């Protein structure tokens, strides 16, 4: 009688698992018994590997072996996976004689809604330009096909204002979007130069990232204000009123922010004598009120006044306003002197008229009697008679 010794050996013909992506977080794993078991199967083990997580081993046993399907394969679902991630699976089959590993199988989970869409950053370039930049979502969950950048216009003030998140409204299908909202760009890039903006205006931005499955959106940026315009839209409307011989009162209207297109830095007042070129002499700079008294002027002189309003970048002039100072005290003195002289001349011209000649009579050898008579037209009270020998 002959005896044969059978030596156990490792299985042969271990096929790679068959993978099927069921969703963004589930892969179906199918595996079959080896073609040549070479003994009783003591264990099936499947090792999962990915770039984003440590390897994980599924062993049967200790886990119960999945039920064999009619196709002669075992099937189970691997859950809790990351969207749009490559996973590699290797099947190991063991007998009493050893273990054999299959070649790896690789599959990718399906795409899902992008998450971790980072709020963009902004930088003011000029009074009409803002640069907006952003990074890829921390979990794109697929291939980002486009970025939609939305702009919300806030106005000249941002304190106490809660702007709408245009991206949220867009993804919810709000149509039309709020009046403040507009799409700045749709691009595959990660930056955008937003142009043709209003000066000295606050803007905020949000971002929509879209892949083949869905879209995700970011929060709003902190409101960013563009720079002031090169100059205000208009100058003040100026009026000038002479107060006396040396002073003129100036008054002008105020400009609101939409006309200043920047902060009010102050007013500069110029004065010149009418007929001279240029703006003239600076009387004062940085005035904050809308009025000013121009003093130390010349009497009886016509002046031209101009007020420049500044927004910190440039200035815009007002209209030309003219005023003539009153006559001064020197002129009044001359007039008074002229009147006095005229009166003196008038009074001196009213002398008595029609004065008869004196009558003489001899009274003795050493005396003569002189008789005088009142003038025909005294022209006033006679206060003195003078007799000249």
What residue segments make up the domains of the chain, in order of their start?
A: 18-108, 121-225, 238-324
Whether the bond into 296 is cis, omega within 30 of 0? no
Residue 287 CA to residue 250 CA, distance in Å, equals: 12
For 45-63, the pLDDT digits (tens) are 999 999 988 999 999 988 8
Tokens matching residue 352 = 């008595």
Other Cβ atoms closer than 10 A to 380: 10
Q: Do domains 18-108 and 238-324 have the same CATH topology?
A: yes
CATH top class, domain 18-108? mainly beta
For 190-249, the pLDDT digits (tens) are 999 999 999 999 999 999 999 999 999 999 999 999 999 999 999 999 999 999 999 999
Specify the pTM.
0.73
Host H or E run for residue 348: helix 329-348
Is 329's pLDDT higher than 90?
Answer: no
69 CB-contact burial (10 Å; exposed 0-12 / middle 13-18 / buried 19+): exposed
383 CB-contact burial (10 Å; exposed 0-12 / middle 13-18 / buried 19+): exposed
Where does 238-324 sit in CATH, by number?
A: 2.60.40.10
Fold of 121-225: Immunoglobulin-like (2.60.40)
Averaged pLDDT of the chain: 89
CA angle, 64 then 110 then 208, to 5°: 140
Q: What is the mean pLDDT of residues 31-35?
A: 95
167: β partners? none
Q: What is the mean pLDDT of residues 151-173?
A: 93
Residue 282 makes CB contacts below 8 A (sequence gap 6+) with 268, 269, 270
Residue 240 CA to residue 213 CA, distance in Å, equals: 70
3-state secondary structure of 204: strand
């Amino acid at each position: 009688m002959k005896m044969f010794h059978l030596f156990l050996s490792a299985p042969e013909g271990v096929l790679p698992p068959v993978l099927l992506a069921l969703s963004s977080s589930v892969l179906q794993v199918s595996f079959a018994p080896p073609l040549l078991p070479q003994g009783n199967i003591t264990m099936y083990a499947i090792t999962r590997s990915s770039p984003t997580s440590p390897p994980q081993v599924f062993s049967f046993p200790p886990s119960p072996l999945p039920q064999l399907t009619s196709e002669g394969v075992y099937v189970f679902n691997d859950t809790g996976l990351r969207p749009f991630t490559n996973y590699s699976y290797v099947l190991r089959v063991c007998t009493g004689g050893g273990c054999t590993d299959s070649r790896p199988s690789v599959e990718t989970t399906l795409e899902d809604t992008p998450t971790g869409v980072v709020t963009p950053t902004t930088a003011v370039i000029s009074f009409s330009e803002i640069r907006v930049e952003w990074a890829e979502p921390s979990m794109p969950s697929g291939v980002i096909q486009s970025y939609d950048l939305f702009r919300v216009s806030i106005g000249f003030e941002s304190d106490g204002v809660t702007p709408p998140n245009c991206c949220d409204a867009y993804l919810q299908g709000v149509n039309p979007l709020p009046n403040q909202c507009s799409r700045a760009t749709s691009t595959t890039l990660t930056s955008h130069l937003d142009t043709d903006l209003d000066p000295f205006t606050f803007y905020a931005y949000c971002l929509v990232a879209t892949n083949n499955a869905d879209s995700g959106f970011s929060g709003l940026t902190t409101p960013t204000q563009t720079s002031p315009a090169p100059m205000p839209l208009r100058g003040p409307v100026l009026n000038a009123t002479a107060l006396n011989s040396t002073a003129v009162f100036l008054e002008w209207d105020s400009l609101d922010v939409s006309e200043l297109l920047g902060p009010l830095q102050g007013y500069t007042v110029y004065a010149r004598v009418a007929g001279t070129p240029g703006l003239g002499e600076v009387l004062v700079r940085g005035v904050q009120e809308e009025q000013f008294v121009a003093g130390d002027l010349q009497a009886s002189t016509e002046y031209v006044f101009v007020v420049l309003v500044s927004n910190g970048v440039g200035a815009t002039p007002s209209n030309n306003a003219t005023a003539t100072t009153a006559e001064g005290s020197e002129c009044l003195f001359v007039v008074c002197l002229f009147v006095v002289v005229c009166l003196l001349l008038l009074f001196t011209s009213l002398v008595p008229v029609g004065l008869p000649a004196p009558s003489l009579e001899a009274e003795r050898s050493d005396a003569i009697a002189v008789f005088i008579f009142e003038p025909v037209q005294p022209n006033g009270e006679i206060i003195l008679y003078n007799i000249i020998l």
